[in-house]
């Protein structure tokens, strides 16, 4: 069955999230230290390792949980402070991605979003000249499904009018992107970047078809998958 569509996560492949995660790290450090727990570079690195390698659905409460040593009351206080603190979420478009999306669109491929993002992300993508290339323009904030829920991927396919086996999924997380896509029969590309760059497969069912670390590698990997290469 030939490939007709490519699904993209937003955070990681499209948005580098470098400044976003840096801001998150600073905020978590601040709220944890406000409850009297000292945070060092080593303790923070260990907390991130815990969050990533335990496959925490949301890394941020997992980081806090590890930093406060599993203290339920402190963790709850920190999370309340973290969630109630206003913050801007910058969008850092990955260099070369607009050109790649334009190329894929020009080849007649259907492009879709498969992302845990607020609905406002669609407007942000349009502002950065990315949104126009996507045929499926919904995210979790639009329909209410969150990865790794298989229904999010199924909705993408239904909207694009394709079967899962006719899709490639590009994402930066094994648990949220690679496993559910493979479970449905999609080809998968793991974009190693950001917070989850060192995440490892839990079993053979988590192993992506290929891994990349930049747009140039992604272009080559997609070309091979589209041509039927292994």
Structure tokens at 132: 């126009």
Per-residue pLDDT tens digits for 84-140: 999 888 999 999 999 999 999 999 999 999 999 999 999 999 999 999 999 999 999
Mean pLDDT calculated for residue range 141-163:
97
Topology (CATH level 3) of domain 5-17+92-226: Rossmann fold (3.40.50)
Structure tokens at 30: 């601040």
Tell me what pLDDT residue 151 has.
97
Mean pLDDT calculated for residue range 31-51:
98
Q: What is the mean pLDDT of the chain?
A: 96
Mean pLDDT calculated for residue range 167-190:
98
Tell me what pLDDT residue 89 has.
81
Mean pLDDT calculated for residue range 58-80:
98
Tell me what pLDDT residue 229 has.
56
Tell me what pLDDT residue 228 has.
84
Q: Which of 219, 149, 157 is nearest to 177 (CA)?
A: 149
Mean pLDDT calculated for residue range 72-83:
98
Helix, strand, coil percent values for the chain (each to nearest 5): 50, 10, 35
Tell me what pLDDT residue 88 has.
83
Tell me what pLDDT residue 230 has.
47
Rounded percentage of the chain residues whose pLDDT exceeds 90: 96
Tell me what pLDDT residue 1 has.
77
Structure tokens at 217: 């590698």
Tell me what pLDDT residue 171 has.
98
Mean pLDDT calculated for residue range 191-202:
96
Q: How far is CA 179 from CA 4, 153, 185, 192, 216, in A?
A: 20, 11, 10, 15, 24
- Cα–chain-centroid distance for residue 73? 30
Mean pLDDT calculated for residue range 190-214:
97
Q: Give residue for tokens 């400044």.
A: 19
Q: Give residue for tokens 């998150």.
A: 24
Rounded percentage of the chain residues whose pLDDT exceeds 70: 99
Q: Where are the beta strands (DSSP E) in 28-177?
A: 110-113, 167-171
Mean pLDDT calculated for residue range 161-173:
98
Q: Could you state, in order of their start, the residue ranges of all structural domains in the chain?
A: 5-17+92-226, 19-84
């Amino acid at each position: 069955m030939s490939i007709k569509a490519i699904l993209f996560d937003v955070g990681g492949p499209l948005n580098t999230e470098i400044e976003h995660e840096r801001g998150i790290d600073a905020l978590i450090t601040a709220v944890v230290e406000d409850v009297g727990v000292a945070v060092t570079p080593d303790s923070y690195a260990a907390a991130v390792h815990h969050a990533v390698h335990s496959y925490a659905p949301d890394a941020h409460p997992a980081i806090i949980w590890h930093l406060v040593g599993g203290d339920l009351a402190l963790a709850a206080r920190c999370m309340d402070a973290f969630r109630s603190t206003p913050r801007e979420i910058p969008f850092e478009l990955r260099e070369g991605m607009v050109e790649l999306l334009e190329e894929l669109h020009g080849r007649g491929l259907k492009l879709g979003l498969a992302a845990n993002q607020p609905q406002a992300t669609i407007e942000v993508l349009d502002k950065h000249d990315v949104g126009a290339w996507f045929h499926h323009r919904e995210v979790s904030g639009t329909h209410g499904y969150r990865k790794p829920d298989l229904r999010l991927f199924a909705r993408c396919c239904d909207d694009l009018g394709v079967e899962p086996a006719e899709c490639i999924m590009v994402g930066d997380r094994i648990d949220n992107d690679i496993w559910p896509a493979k479970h449905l029969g999609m080809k998968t590309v793991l974009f190693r970047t950001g917070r989850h760059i060192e995440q490892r497969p839990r079993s053979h069912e988590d192993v992506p078809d290929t891994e990349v670390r930049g747009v140039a590698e992604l272009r080559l990997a997609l070309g091979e998958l589209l041509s039927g290469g292994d």
